[in-house]
Structure 1
Amino acid sequence: MDKESLYKKCVDFHGHSCGGLLIGFRAALCAMEQFGISEPSPDEELVCIAENDACGIDAIQALLGCTAGKGNLILRLRGKQAFTFFDRRSGKSFRIVLNEREFSSKEEKLAFMNEAPSSDIFSIGEARCAAPREAAIYISRRCARCGERTAEPWLRVKDGKFLCLDCCEGADLRG
């Protein structure tokens, strides 16, 4: 698929074109270049740890198949345009960070982001952490207070009863 079609796929997924989506688009293309792939991850082979929750992560989802639902898109909110990628099959990993640049106009910035090589747009370095483990499936239990089923890691025991986080934080079990 050509670059224009790939970007259209991102815009269709996200709902509109914007600067943040373009950053994520270029991050996804950089990952594809580094891994030597042209298709999204069918399961959890590729992993992205995004250090923001901005528009760009929609491009990561659309092009790489990394999603929160599959557990291979992890948001580690730090407010940075930085992404760490892992390929579980090959063991290859790297972290990219958007380079700071000054532009004289919005048009100049857009042209740069569309045309520049990935190595000019991002600093590419070693991953700072190990690949996360594959997504786990947890047993759910009913919260003793609200009755809603909750996955075990998000339950707390208070006075011998399983409570979801919301009920535990505001729990008043006196009556």
Structure 2
Amino acid sequence: MLISPLFWGYAALFGTALALCGSLALIAVTTLKLIGDKISIRPAITAVSAFSMLGFATGLIMAQSREAAVDVVLPAILTFLSGILVYMIGAKGLRTQAGASAMVFCFALSLLVGSQYGAWLRFEHDSKQADVSYLIAREAALEQGHHNLAIRRLANASEIQSFISAYAEQKKLDPVRLYEAVYGNKPLP
């Protein structure tokens, strides 16, 4: 059984996102442990990975969009991050500054990588759409589809005509008048 190329595209996208976000989380938490911050490793990796994945997804969606998303998304992201930092530092004190900074750093880096990755995917798609050989192959496939449809219509018309003729002969009717009674005065399609 063949696996769809779409599956491999999504697998590459999710693989890239997981590898980037997991690596950033590991680096950030290891750095925090090395500087002496007393944090639990699993919850810290989960939190940093979540922020990192959010940044990657936001950047990817922003880059893939054909709308002017940067004008709306970037101020919202900066407001969101500033609010989180102010809350975490204000509510928990300066003790959490290193952890919050690590999360914001991973978010920002993932946002940058995600937007660059999304821009690259969009460029690849647009380049393929502008490629002459792709357009020729697409037009040939469309023409073949139209040709197959026309042949099927002719075959159906032939079957209808033979059915009407057989029915008219069986009932001793004029086939032309029977055809006109069924279809009106329109010619066969």
With the length of structure 1 as denominator, give the TM-score of the two structures.
0.24
Q: Comparing both structures, which one devotes a greater share of its residues to helix?
A: 2
Q: Comparing both structures, which one devotes a greater share of its residues to strand?
A: 1
Structure possessing the higher relative contact order (Cα contacts under 8 Å, 6 or more residues apart)? 2
With the length of structure 2 as denominator, give the TM-score of the two structures.
0.23
